[in-house]
Amino acid sequence: MSDDNTIICRCEDITLREIREQIAQGKHTSEEIKRACRTGMGPCQGRTCGPLIASEIAKATGKSIADIPLAKVRPSTGPIKMAALLGGEKHD
Q: In sequence order, which ranges of 11-79 are alpha helices (DSSP H)? A: 16-24, 30-37, 49-61
Nearer to other proteins, 20 or 38 (CB): 38
SS3 8: strand
CB of 80 to other proteins, least distance (A): 5
| Residue 85 is a binding residue for other proteins (CB under 8 A) | yes
- Applying CB under 8 A, which part among 2-10, 13-21, 50-58, 69-77 lies near other proteins? 69-77
| Residue 92 is a binding residue for other proteins (CB under 8 A) | no
Instruction: Give residues 9-48 in contact with other proteins (rule: CB under 8 A).
Output: 29, 31-32, 35-36, 38, 41-43, 45
Interaction site with other proteins (CB under 8 A):
29, 31-32, 35-36, 38, 41-43, 45, 74-76, 79-83, 85-88
